[in-house]
Amino acid sequence: MAFDTANACLRIAAIYEEALAALSTPVILDAIPYMTHWQEEFPFATVQLGATLAADRDDEGEDFDTYEITVVGRVYVAKLTDGVKGEFEPKLHLWIPQVMEYFNARERLQSAAYPARPNDLRYARITECSGVSLLQAPWAGEGVTAFGAVFTHELSALRFVQQAYL
């Protein structure tokens, strides 16, 4: 069985929820393990499998491959037209480092919802964040714009590959 990328996205979504709930003033965040989602209630996050899914021979031997997987998380704070000028950026200044540190302290994607690490996962870390950004959500109507941040997660998995010699 191949590395379970859907399970990795579920785990990442759960950790987003935990990360913001762990703030001194807890934030309730809905995290969805897929990209095409929009809701009227903020904040929320979406998680999607990124464009990079590569397998290379690992130094462990010919029967092992290392998979480098990218997952993209988008945290939506509020619509651009909501609130007053400057209201939402301070939230992101607090949330971005919280999310990054919380994830990177859980490189096995373990959480209250998923206490055991996934099979074959070596590590998962956030390697990049867009900072305070304006995110477009064209599936939400006429190109709704929201305040938010985009996180890039890099996952590495070591898989045993049974060779099929014919």
* Residue 113 belongs to some domain of the structure: yes
pLDDT confidence of residue 1 = 62
**pLDDT at residue 124, rounded to an integer:** 97
Q: Sorting pLDDT into bands at 50, 70 and 90, what band is 59? A: low
How confident is the model at residue 87, as a pLDDT? Answer: 83
Quick check: bond before 43 cis, omega within 30? yes
- For residue 140, pLDDT over 60 is answered with no
* Per-residue DSSP letter, 118: P
Q: Collapsing DSSP states into helix, strand and coil, what is residue 24?
A: coil
Give the lowest-confidence range in 1-5, 69-73, 91-95. 1-5
Number of domains in the chain: 1
Structural domain includes residue 47: yes
- The owner of tokens 């949330």 is 95
Contact call for residues 11 and 105 (beta carbons, < 8 A):
no
Q: Please check the confidence at residue 49 and state whether its pLDDT lies above 60.
A: yes
| pLDDT tens for each residue of 78-130 | 988 887 777 889 999 999 999 999 999 999 999 999 999 998 899 999 999 99
Structural domain boundaries enclosing 41: 5-160
- Domain assignment present for 138: yes
CB 108 within 8 A of CB 158: no
Residue 56 lies in a domain: yes
For residue 19, being part of any structural domain is answered with yes
Question: What's the mean per-residue pLDDT of the chain?
Answer: 88
Residue 166 lies in a domain: no
In a domain, 165, yes or no: no
**pLDDT higher than threshold 90 for residue 60:** no
Domain CATH number, residue 29? 3.30.2000.10
